[in-house]
Amino acid sequence: MAPSSGAPACGPTSGARLLLALEPQEGCWTEDFKAYLLRGTLSEKEEDAERVARLATTYCIQNGELYQRRPNDVSLQCISKEQGRELLADIHRGDCGHHSLSCTLMGKAFRSGLYWPTTLNDATELVRSCEACEFHAKQIHQPTQGL
Q: What is the residue extent of each domain of the chain? A: 25-78, 79-139
Half-sphere exposure of 142 (CA within 13 A, CB side): 3
CA distance 122 to 19: 21
Task: Name the packing angle between helices 119-129 and 102-111 (round to 10°).
Answer: 130
pLDDT surpasses 80 at 112: yes
If one compares 4 and 40, the residue with the highest pLDDT of the two is: 40
- Per-residue pLDDT reduced to its tens digit, 7-31: 555 544 433 334 344 444 456 888 9
- Per-residue pLDDT reduced to its tens digit, 36-56: 999 888 888 888 889 889 999
